[in-house]
Amino acid sequence: MNWNILKILEGYIGRGRAQETTTTETEVVDKLGNALGRLRELTHKLEQEQETAAERRAQELKDERLKKEIERAHSQMLQAILTCHKDLGTGLDESRLKELHDLYEEIPQPEEHGRPTSLQNMIKYATAKLFHEELGPPSWQKLLTALADKGIEWPDPEGLSPNATAEEKEKARAHYQARNESAFLERPLRHSGDLIIGVVKIWRASYPTPSSGLYRETVYEAVASAFRAESLERALKLASDVPEELVKKIDSLLTEELGVVYRALNKDDLTLDEAHQANQVTSKAYCCIIPRMLWNHVKSQALA
């Protein structure tokens, strides 16, 4: 309805002329006024709903555009990573990289207080985490060796003076490379898995330009992450099938380590401090001792 018509009718209803009508006419006019009031409310509500729907649709379109931009950024970096693998002759193609990414996705993740909720998942996660940490340095060295074999230098640090001497450049490059190595070694499990296929979630769609040093460094780190994942895959497979002799050794050591726990649990007057100590001993046994013994068993083959 045209708002000008509503205003005319409202004006007509409000004028003194309405007072000169008969009682029946007054009732009709009142009803018409009420109807017009309700119509105005409904019209306002409809306009609000339309505005809300329009805003929601605008946000949906914005989210869709962002999603496509993120996918393009991921795809572009994955292609750069695949090119680097090809240049270095690693033999790893896209399907293999996705398999290595999925390996990290299948590792149980901590769900509360930094640890998995079930004992089995706690041991699996702790074992994978230790293997991942131990395999970091040799994987990084493998990357550096591969780059050196192909005569590829590490990118120059951002902001390096164009007048820097060769010695200054080398020193700055070595410092920058060491910083990247530290970041690589500390990269969490799933972040490493994501990087293998070119995903850096914190960047969303704002990836650096492909020609930048940061972009090239990230590609190199992705290659090193793939090396690490291959070794991790091999190590976890070996750890899943340990000899009976090692099983007995682990059982014997756990019995010794958990003796204090058994004694504490059998006490009628268990104190809070004793309960806390028992929990610490149990966590150490399952999160440190078992993974370390498994690593000692598989490391020579995992690093081969």
- The string of DSSP letters for 83-121 reads HHHHHHT----HHHHHHHHHHHHTS----BTTB-SSHHH
How open is the CA angle 199-203-204, to the nearest 5 degrees? 75
Greater confidence, 19 or 86? 86
* Residues sharing a CB contact under 8 Å with residue 105, sequence separation 6 or more, in sequence order: 190, 193
pLDDT at 65: 87
Token pair listed for 41: 């409310």
Q: What is the dihedral of CA 177, 179, 180, 183, to 10 degrees?
A: 160
Average confidence (pLDDT) over 186-191: 94
CA dihedral 33, 34, 38, 40 (to 10 degrees): 20
Please indicate, yes or no, whether the overall pTM of this predicted structure exceeds 0.85.
no
Among 88, 75, 76, CA closest to 220: 88
If one compares 260 and 17, the residue with the highest pLDDT of the two is 260
Band (1; pLDDT cuts 50, 70, 90)? very low
pLDDT attached to residue 268: 66
Report the pLDDT value the prediction gives residue 167, as an integer from 0 to 100.
87
* Tens-place pLDDT, residues 7-16: 444 454 455 4
Mean pLDDT of 283-294: 85
Chain segment 137-185, per-residue pLDDT in tens: 999 999 999 999 999 988 877 777 888 888 888 888 888 889 999 999 9
Residue 264, pLDDT score: 64
pLDDT higher at 35 or 68:
68
What mean pLDDT is predicted for residues 111-129? 78
Q: pLDDT tens digits, residue range 200-232? A: 999 988 899 999 989 999 999 999 999 999 999
- State how far the Cα of 188 lies from the Cα of 20, in Å rounded to an integer: 85
pLDDT (tens digit per residue) in 44-94: 777 777 777 667 777 777 778 888 999 999 999 999 999 999 999 999 999
For residue 260, which phi and psi values (nearest 5 degrees)?
Answer: -65, -30
Where b means 16+ CB within 10 Å and e means fewer, 60-87 reads eeeeeeeeeebeebbeebbebbbebbee
Predicted pLDDT of residue 70: 92
